[in-house]
Amino acid sequence: MKQVLTLLVLVHPSLSLKSQFYNLPNEYFFNTISQRQLARLDSEQIHSSIQPYIPFFNKKYEFIGDTHRIFKYISDDPFLEKVFFDHLIHIRPKSKKFEFKVDPLLNLEFGRAYYDTANTQRISTNTRGFIASGSIGKDFYFETMFSENQSQFPYYISKYNNQTKIVPGQGRYKVFKTTGYDYAFSSGFISYQPFKKLNIQVGHGKQKIGNGYRSILLSDNAFNYPYLRVTSEWMKGKLQYTNIYAVLMNLTTGGAPTPKNTEPLFQKKAVSFQYLSYNVNKRINLGLFQGMIWNAADSMNRQHLEWQYFNPIIFSNIGFYGLNNKNNIVIGATANIKISNTISVYGQFMGDDFSNTFAIGNGWGYQVGAKYFDAFKLKNLMIQAEYNDVAEASYNSPFSTYSNQSYSHYNQNLAYTLGYGKELVLLGDYKYRRAFINAKLNLQWMTLNSFSLYNNTITKIQLGYTINPAYNFNVSLGYNYRYQDFLGFNLSNNKTTFYTLSIKSNLYNTYYDF
- pLDDT tens digits for range 322-366: 777 778 899 999 999 999 999 999 999 999 877 765 555 578 999
Residue 380 belongs to a domain with what CATH number?
2.40.160.130
Beta carbons of 419 and 393 less than 8 angstroms apart = no
How far apart CA 89 and CA 174 sit, in angstroms, is: 32
- pLDDT tens digits for range 356-368: 655 555 789 999 9
- Per the prediction, the chain carries an average pLDDT of 86
**309 φ/ψ angles, rounded to the nearest 5 degrees:** -55, -35
For residue 211, is pLDDT > 70? yes
Q: Does residue 362 lie within any of the structural domains?
A: yes
pLDDT band at 80 (very low <50, low <70, confident <90, very high): confident
**103 φ/ψ angles, rounded to the nearest 5 degrees:** -140, 155
Percent of the chain exceeding pLDDT 90 equals 58
Q: Which residues of 145-183 are buried (b: 16+ CB within 10 A; e: fewer)?
A: bebebbbbbbbbbbebbeeeebbbbbbbbeeeeeebbeb
Over residues 376-396, the mean pLDDT reads: 93
pLDDT band at 9 (very low <50, low <70, confident <90, very high): very low
156, 171, 381, 451 from 392: Cα distances, Å: 22, 25, 35, 11
Neighbours of 366 (CB within 10 A): 17
Q: Where are the alpha helices (DSSP H) in 309-357?
A: 316-321
Q: Does residue 491 lie within any of the structural domains?
A: yes
State the DSSP code for 117.
Answer: T
- pLDDT tens digits for range 94-124: 888 899 999 999 999 999 998 866 678 899 9
- Number of structural domains the chain divides into: 1
pLDDT at 305: 79
Q: Does residue 513 lie within any of the structural domains?
A: no
First-last CA distance in the chain: 44
State the DSSP code for 488.
Answer: S
Q: Does residue 495 lie within any of the structural domains?
A: yes
Q: Does residue 409 lie within any of the structural domains?
A: yes
Q: Does residue 510 lie within any of the structural domains?
A: no
Q: Where are the alpha helices (DSSP H) in 396-509?
A: none
Neighbours of 262 (CB within 10 A): 7
How far apart CA 501 and CA 111 sit, in angstroms, is: 6
Q: Does residue 512 lie within any of the structural domains?
A: no
For residue 281, is pLDDT > 60? yes
Over residues 447-461, the mean pLDDT reads: 87
Q: Does residue 119 lie within any of the structural domains?
A: yes
What Rg do the C-alpha atoms of the chain give, in angstroms?
23
For residue 475, is pLDDT > 90? yes
223: alpha, beta or left? (left if phi > 0; alpha if psi -120 to 50) = beta
How many C-alpha atoms does 52 have within 13 Å on its Cβ side? 31
Over residues 26-38, the mean pLDDT reads: 87
- pLDDT tens digits for range 159-208: 999 999 999 999 999 999 888 999 999 999 999 999 989 999 999 999 99
Percent of the chain exceeding pLDDT 70 equals 86
For residue 481, is pLDDT > 70? yes
Domain that holds residue 283: 2-505
